[in-house]
Amino acid sequence: MKIEFKEEVKADIKVVFVLNKDLDGSFIGDRALLEKVGFNGADETSALLVERGELYVGVEDEEDLESFRIAAAKAIDVLKTLKIKDAAIASYDKSGADVAKAIAFGLILGAYEFSEYKSKPKQRQIETIYLTAENFYGAKVDENAVRAAIEYAAIVGGNVNFARDLVNRAPQDMTPSALAFAARQVAKERGITCDVYDEMYLKESGMGAFLAVSQASAEPPRLIHLRYKPKNAAKTVAIVGKGLTYDSGGLSLKPADYMTTMKADMAGGAAAIAIIKTAAKLKLPVAIHAVIGATENMIGGAAYKPDDVLRAKNGKTIEVKNTDAEGRLVLADCLCYAQDVASNLDYIIDLATLTGACVVALGEHTSGVMGFNDDLKRSLLQAAKNSGELAAELPFNRYLKKLLKSEVADMANCASVRYGGAITAALFLSEFIKEENLDKWAHLDVAGPSYVEKPWGVNPFGASGAAVRWAIDWLESL
């Protein structure tokens, strides 16, 4: 599917956005007919008038770009079921190209479908969506700005879909080695290099926490390190991603109902790969290290156990209380690795589907932002807002930190109390951030929005590619 700007065009279907549920006022369509089919212009609703070649879609609040993204996603959701070649959407752009960008993102993200495992993939494919110069505000559309907005959404949205593809692949196919292979493919693009390390390397470099998680799996672990270093880099950022290609829980086995969807426990890692790919494509003036800890968390005779004591790369010892709190063990060593090998880091951001507690706290749509630096957290929250992703801060406090105490090791891998689990997980990670880097670090828990079982917003069923748009917006703000 292509998205193109065209002054004027006669397409198979004309898409009409109904703003602010305003079916009277300036609205020019057949109000009585729309009322008859029960359409009132609310978010995520539409009315298809086939004989007229018109699709009406609600934009609940025209001041809110997310309303346009949702409307475009809704429109494409309907359009892709029709046997048509093209459709046209008028321009709703009052000033810049923000609305055009929002519409393009909604179309690209909403059109996504993962059908690799379907023996009979759906045939119908709409070829082109036109954004036209027809403008409901009577203003002149800035053609170049609209074209640039479409181009931007195609790059970033395309890479959100790339992250979705990585996560949606079945876990027997998307193994740690397969993820490393995908990362190597990404590194073929200009400006990116890739190093992949195996279990021998983990052993030699003292990454006992990461190694322990991987040791029951028939699939060997991989530490993936992608680098993007533009000549004009103003800042250097490490993005560390949790890449659990499967999380069974280990010996602290997950109940069956909680184990399904755990192929998505690599969503942070997939996002990290997609982010560096996008940054290189956009030629962002920021040096980036993407470090991904890829492994499965399985059971068997070789499995690590509750009561085991592990030694992480920075020498700290960890008592295992629950093998399902594995992401933080993998990340602990990856965070140490990133700080040891990357020089002059300005920021360290980790992305992880880390805790169910974060989903309990914020719901399925919102990521948690944690860290010690208020300015950094603010900039991340702002970037989330700009990008159309949802994020909220979860605050640290001294009492929660004490819950990680262990009688036998430097700390336990999970808290003694079950409340506040998203925050105690982040506080665990902070033990692996060097003192001088504490203010450079933020932890993003994407457990809620990473995988979608009931479509919402611009997200169809499956992986959402959470944090890709968000991180790109943040990197642009540096």
Which positions lie near ligand BES, rule CB under 6 A? 247, 265, 322, 324-327, 353-357, 359, 414, 421, 447
Which position among 324, 333, 389, 473 is part of the footprint of Zn ion (CB under 5 A)? 324
148: its two tokens? 């640039």
> What is the Cα 464 distance to its own chain's centre?
6
The CB-of-470 to ligand BES minimum distance in angstroms stands at 17
What does the DSSP 8-state code read for residue 51?
G
From the list ligand BES, Zn ion, none, partner contacted by residue 455 (C-beta under 5 to 8 A by kind): none
Instruction: Report whether 330 contacts 211 (CB < 8 A).
Output: no
**Residue among 14, 328, 377, 469 flagged as catalytic:** 328
**Residue among 254, 311, 316, 434 flagged as catalytic:** 254
The CB-of-30 to ligand BES minimum distance in angstroms stands at 45
Report the relative pairing of strands 317-319 and 309-311 from DSSP bridges.
antiparallel
Residue 346 has phi, psi (to 5 degrees) of: -95, -35
Residue whose C-alpha is closest to residue 446's, from 428, 427, 425, 419: 425
Which C-beta is closer to ligand BES: that of 103 or that of 411? Answer: 411
x/- string (CB under 5 A) for Zn ion, residues 129-168? Answer: ----------------------------------------
Which residues pair with residue 160 across a beta bridge? none
The CB-of-354 to ligand BES minimum distance in angstroms stands at 6
b/e map 263-284, b = 16+ CB within 10 Å: bbbbbbbbbbbbbbbbbbbeeb
Q: Under the criterion CB under 5 A, does residue 268 sit at the interface with Zn ion?
A: no
The CB-of-108 to ligand BES minimum distance in angstroms stands at 25
Which C-beta is closer to Zn ion: that of 73 or that of 318? Answer: 318
Which C-beta is closer to ligand BES: that of 286 or that of 369? Answer: 369
Which C-beta is closer to ligand BES: that of 34 or that of 415? Answer: 415
Which C-beta is closer to ligand BES: that of 69 or that of 321? Answer: 321
111: its two tokens? 């059109």
Interacting stretch for Zn ion, rule CB under 5 A, among 88-96, 179-187, 322-330, 339-347? 322-330
Which C-beta is closer to Zn ion: that of 58 or that of 327? Answer: 327
**Catalytic-residue membership of 328:** yes
**Catalytic-residue membership of 254:** yes
Dist CA 275 CA 163 (whole Å) = 9
From the list Zn ion, ligand BES, none, partner contacted by residue 473 (C-beta under 5 to 8 A by kind): none
b/e map 371-400, b = 16+ CB within 10 Å: beeeebbebbbebbebbbbbbebbebeeeb
Which residues pair with residue 15 across a beta bridge? 55, 89
- 223-252 binders of Zn ion (CB under 5 A): 244, 247
Q: Under the criterion CB under 5 A, does residue 265 sit at the interface with Zn ion?
A: yes
Q: Under the criterion CB under 5 A, does residue 327 sit at the interface with Zn ion?
A: yes
Sheet holding 347-352, edge to edge: 192-197, 222-228, 286-297, 235-247, 347-352, 441-445, 366-371, 390-393
Task: Compute the C-alpha angle 333/246/267, nearest 5°.
Answer: 70
Q: Give the DSSP H or E segment for 4.
A: strand 2-6
The CB-of-461 to ligand BES minimum distance in angstroms stands at 16
The CB-of-382 to ligand BES minimum distance in angstroms stands at 25
Q: Contact positions toward Zn ion, by CB under 5 A?
A: 244, 247, 265, 324, 326-327
The residues assigned a catalytic role are 254, 328
